[in-house]
Chain A
Amino acid sequence: MTRAARIAAYFLAVFSWPADWLSQFLLSSCRRTSALSLAVLALSFTPFRTLAQSECLACHADKTMQDSAGHSISVDGDKFGASVHGSLQCNNCHADIKEYPHPDHIAKVDCKSCHADEGAKLSASVHSSSKDHPCTSCHGNAHEIFPKTDSRSAVYPLNVPKTCGQCHSDGAMATRKGLPSVYPHYLDSIHGNALNKEGLLVAANCQSCHGSHGILSHKDPNSPTSKANIPKTCGACHAKINDEYQRGAHGQGIAKGDLKAPVCTDCHTAHAILQPTESAFRMQSTPICGSCHKDKLSTYHDTFHSQLGLLGGYVETARCWDCHDAHEIHPASDPRSAINRTNLITTCGKCHKGANTSFVQYQPHANARDRKLNPALYFIRLFMNLLLISVLTFFVIHTALWLIRSRFDQVKRNSGNGGKNA
């Protein structure tokens, strides 16, 4: 379609000539001269006026319309009309278009002219350097933006993860920029399942934790995902657990500014959060605690709880938090602690029905190699090892000598009998 034909078609639309056939004829015929003369004629009759939607759509409704770079510049008038911006005129946003014909290259729309707050947050966020249009990357087609409560919106709660996942996923922009691919992790998480399978609007989506326009790096202390802020961020939904956590040793540590203390994400991970009763989580949880409590993990490994638990699939045996509690963890000396002497019968009794005072003296972290800590165990292990070593050493020597001697004897006997080996 030539430029002249477009202009002609525009004026046909402006004057509402009841001649669709004529505009079609003009568009298809591309007879430059006649179209041009028509345009000149029309312009001389028309004062400048605001460019209304219908006027723009006269051209931009054409679905095949592209700019010189090959990008579609067509607009679906019906969808735009229904969108959140449907009542606006085109040049409310495309402000540099003052008249027709407009220049080939027009400025990028500046959403900030209306959405100043969001714009300001965005400029301070991790997305400020985006070369792509920062608003439409998330909100979708500029002419089809719906309120976030509308299920057609790209930022409707159920659509948010997919929207963010366009970049933050395997092989996408995030990979190229060296960012972790989080979308697949989220999809398999308990939040992702609640959102995608159950359609729970309250299930945490990306922006529940990260915010939307003002997303900051987790290294930024003001970010809701900075380590110190994590409990508050998760606690926005998980209020009771946050209360327990805040009372516990880990929460107290964070409150005192000890950033070595774990927060929610250290144990649950940030994106691949599993249902804690799931076997996969039970399998992965102990090494997480053990990454800080190394000596306790090592002594735990010597026990039946661990031996049976390590073999995969069988997950009923006690993990750290089955005894120590998951969130309100107190030292054993604290009467509130699940492993305080007064609470042990209840704690052990969760699995071991009939646990009594003698039973709970069992030491789940006994160290048979530590003579001072567990002398009885130390000497039992020493005795058993000495027994094993002495029995085996004696019999290995005994049997080896026997083998050699009787083989020697056998060959001698065979040769005596005039056998083959004589």
Chain B
Amino acid sequence: MPELAQASLETKMPAPATERFFVRFTRQQRAMHAVLFTTFLGLAGTGLPLRFSDSIWARGLAGAVGGFGAILSFHKFCALALTVAFLIHVKEIFTRGLYRREKGIFWGATSMVANWKDAKDLFAHMRWFLGLGPKPQFERYAYWEKFDYWAVFWGMIVIGFSGYAMWFAPFFARFLPGWALNAALVIHSEEGLLAILFIFSIHFVNTHLRPDSFPMDMVIFTGVESEKEFEHKRPQEYARMVREGKLDARLGEAPATWYVRFARIVGFTAIFIGVTLLVLTLTAYFD
């Protein structure tokens, strides 16, 4: 695929000095994503051998993680770290939205909450896939990004709650019926499986591997994207910024070369681990 190679070459070329960069994610948001994906990889890597404990690779993977005493401890450690990150995130939303009365948190163009435009965008996007209409103009968060966000949000509540119910079973049994403990494992493993399959295939492709971002969308690591990329990917937000005269306020610095290189190594490692786990899951599932 010579075109594909060409495309990746372009993204690797140093940006011209005149090119402007705009901030999309704050340092805290990027840190949150880093905690999220590292703990998620840890949870997936230690959870999958349990889910498919009778598969041929389960014992080997369990051994690689550090034997059996270690695998559950590691799973619990990642769960705790992710829980802390989740609570910080929820606290942040409420501080910004309710305490500081910041606009656009719960509703509006910049909110993560789905709105009518998302439904229209979804249908328009699908029509465009089939060549039946123009490409929709996306705002700050497109519908698939909101889906990713809420899938993870819901997933963390469901998986987290069922996980803690199993971890502290006698305690949870004070308010839950006994069969709920049976249900906890079914829910935990099925929802975990969904999260793993979704993140390691759909999210990877939607966000990183599709031609517009190939091979990786660096914005979640660097926090900034070039003006050209901004305008191309989220024309409606770009237009709104220009219209409201807020574009300059979002100006950021071009990321340092060493940092981009470092982020790329981390990102590719994460994608490599994720795809490996995806392949293992699929082999066990269709075994």
Contacts and interface: CB of A to CB of B under 8 A. Distances in A.
Interface of A: 301-304, 306-308, 310-314, 352-356, 358-363, 366, 368, 374, 376-377, 380-381, 384-385, 387-388, 391-392, 395-396, 398-399, 401-407, 409-411, 414, 419-421
A21 B202 CA distance: 104
A188 B205 CA distance: 55
Contacts of A304: 50, 166, 185
Contacts of B185: 302-304
A307 B51 contact: yes
A34 B126 CA distance: 124
A311 B49 contact: yes
B9 to A, nearest CB: 10
Contacts of A307: 50-51, 53
Given A380-B187, A381-B186, A421 B6 contact: yes
Given A356-B174, A403-B211, 10 more contacts: A303-B185, A308-B53, A358-B174, A359-B181, A366-B179, A374-B179, A381-B186, A388-B194, A401-B126, A410-B212
A376 B173 CA distance: 17
Contact of B125 (A306, A360, A402, A419): A402
A302 to B, nearest CB: 8
27 contacts: A301-B54, A307-B53, A308-B53, A310-B54, A311-B59, A313-B68, A314-B68, A314-B72, A352-B170, A354-B170, A359-B173, A362-B179, A366-B182, A368-B182, A374-B182, A387-B194, A391-B194, A392-B197, A401-B126, A401-B129, A402-B125, A402-B206, A402-B210, A407-B211, A410-B212, A411-B3, A421-B2
Given A384-B191, A402-B210, A403-B211, A392 B173 contact: no
Closest 5 CB pairs of A and B: A361-B178, A314-B68, A359-B173, A384-B190, A354-B170
Nearest to A414: B3
B170 to A, nearest CB: 4
A396 to B, nearest CB: 7
B128 interface: yes
Given A377-B186, A384-B191, A359 B170 contact: yes
A356 B168 CA distance: 13
A354 B179 contact: no
Nearest to A360: B178
A356 B187 CA distance: 23
B194 to A, nearest CB: 4
A2 to B, nearest CB: 72
Contacts of A385: 190
Given A362-B182, A388-B193, A311 B71 contact: yes
A372 B6 CA distance: 59
B186 A406 contact: no
B170 A356 contact: yes
A145 B129 CA distance: 95
Contacts of A358: 173-174, 176-178
A396 B206 CA distance: 10
B178 A314 contact: no
A420 B6 contact: yes
A340 B229 CA distance: 67
A411 B212 CA distance: 11
Contact of B202 (A310, A376, A396): A396
Contacts of B177: 358, 361
A415 B187 CA distance: 50
Nearest to A279: B68
Given A388-B197, A402-B125, A419 B6 contact: yes
B7 A410 contact: yes
B31 interface: no
A301 B189 CA distance: 14
A313 B67 contact: yes
B156 interface: no
A388 B3 contact: no
Contacts of A399: 202, 205-206, 210
A361 B68 CA distance: 28
Given A311-B58, A410-B212, A354 B171 contact: yes
Interface string B203-239: 0011000111000000000000000000000000000
Contact of A376 (B58, B68, B179): B179
Nearest to A303: B185
A311 B48 CA distance: 11
B279 interface: no
A403 B205 contact: yes
Nearest to A312: B59
A374 B177 CA distance: 14
Given A314-B68, A388-B193, A355 B202 contact: no
A377 B179 contact: yes
Contacts of B151: 391
A377 B50 contact: no
Given A362-B182, A384-B190, A352 B129 contact: no
B245 interface: no
A405 B129 contact: yes
Nearest to B6: A420
A302 B184 CA distance: 12
B198 interface: yes
A356 B170 CA distance: 7
B130 interface: yes
A395 B174 contact: no
Interface in B38-76: 49-51, 53-54, 58-59, 62-63, 67-69, 71-72
A274 to B, nearest CB: 19
